[in-house]
């Protein structure tokens, strides 16, 4: 006989996201530790900050919007250190996409669990966007970011411009006073 599991959605989602974040962070640390470039220490420090930070949507969004400056540029003929710098930039970009995804999951399933239940009952929950976003993280993290953007826009959450850091006037909940898009 199978017994029904009676764990609140917010608790289950929070536990799953914390475990997933830990695994993703461990992978980033392992990958960045192998790189030998000027920006790898900054990247490792930033990922370390994420590992030690509280796991909540606001913190994850803040980290996502404050990537390290790796001080890299492009070279016509990249050497080994340049290839490592390119890898560090890609790993930071991928981790930012993951933090954006994880923050969205926290906002939706931990903070807004009641709304999820109501939306699922009415078949208005675009869960496939989040599933596709998670699936794309390893192969096309920019596409993953865009899928999260699409979900956030449909769900009425602030959409973050991945090209620029958060403005000083952004409020604590990630929304600007006059717009839904943080630019």
pLDDT tens sequence for the chain (183 residues): 556 567 677 788 888 888 999 999 999 999 999 998 888 899 999 999 988 888 899 999 999 999 998 876 544 445 555 888 889 999 999 999 999 999 999 888 877 656 655 555 555 567 788 889 999 998 999 999 999 999 888 888 889 988 765 443 333 333 332 322 333
- Output the pLDDT for position 156: 83
pTM metric for this prediction: 0.78
Residues contacting residue 82 through CB under 8 Å, at least 6 positions apart: 37, 72, 75
- Output the pLDDT for position 174: 36
What is the rounded radius of gyration, in angstroms, for the C-alpha atoms of the chain? 18
3-state class percentages of the chain: helix first, strand second, coil last, to nearest 5? 60, 5, 35
CA distances from 82 to 74, 91, 119, 138, 146 (A): 8, 14, 48, 22, 28
SS3 99: helix
Placement of tokens 């699922």 in the chain: 120
């Amino acid at each position: 006989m199978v017994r029904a599991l009676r764990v609140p959605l917010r608790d289950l989602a929070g536990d799953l996201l914390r475990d997933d974040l830990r695994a993703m962070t461990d992978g980033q640390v392992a990958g960045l530790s192998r790189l030998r470039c000027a920006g790898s220490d900054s990247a490792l420090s930033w990922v370390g900050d994420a590992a030690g930070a509280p796991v909540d949507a606001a913190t994850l969004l803040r980290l996502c919007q404050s990537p390290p400056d790796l001080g890299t540029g492009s070279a016509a003929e990249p050497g080994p250190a340049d290839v490592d710098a390119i890898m560090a930039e890609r790993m930071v970009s991928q981790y930012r996409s993951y933090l954006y995804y994880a923050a969205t999951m926290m906002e939706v399933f931990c903070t807004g669990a009641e709304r999820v239940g109501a939306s699922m009952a009415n078949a208005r929950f675009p869960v496939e966007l989040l599933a596709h976003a998670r699936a794309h993280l390893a192969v096309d993290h920019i596409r993953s970011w865009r899928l999260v953007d699409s979900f956030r826009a449909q769900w009425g959450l602030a959409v973050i411009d991945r090209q620029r850091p958060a403005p000083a006037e952004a409020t604590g909940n990630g929304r600007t006073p006059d717009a839904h898009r943080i630019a």
